Amino acid sequence: NAGVTQTPKFRVLKTGQSMTLLCAQDMNHEYMYWYRQDPGMGLRLIHYSVGEGTTAKGEVPDGYNVSRLKKQNFLLGLESAAPSQTSVYFCASSSWTVTDTQYFGPGTRLTVL
């Protein structure tokens, strides 16, 4: 049982390049989330999904797109990376049970030059 995994762990991009971050969970969770964490700050929600084939915008969605073609995977895309997107990205998943925590992946550290 790996929990929530993220690929890659580190990435350096040049301004204007594109990339996709992959999140996978093996807990059969319905809900999945993408957050970003900037230095000295808490996590902010980018996009989320309440089930396979559904996605919705969070607090800071601009410049990102997501897809959830399979229940266990949630992809975050940057079409044209900007230095302002330099951050640590966390994926999380959770069940329907409101008393249960969200389970977080280890994070991806992205630097955009």
Partner 1 sequence: AQKITQTQPGMFVQEKEAVTLDCTYDTSDQSYGLFWYKQPSSGEMIFLIYQGSYDEQNATEGRYSLNFQKARKSANLVISASQLGDSAMYFCAMRENWGAQKLVFGQGTRLTINP
Window 43-82: contact mask with partner 1 (x via CB under 8 A): xxx--x-x-----x-x------------------------
Q: H helices of the chain, where?
A: none
Binding of partner 1 at residue 33 (CB under 8 A)? yes
Structure tokens at 104: 């977080």
Q: What are the counts of helices (DSSP H) followed by strands (DSSP E) for the chain?
A: 0, 11
Residues that bind partner 1 (CB under 8 A): 31, 33, 40-45, 48, 50, 56, 58, 88, 90, 92, 94, 96, 98-99, 101-104, 106-107
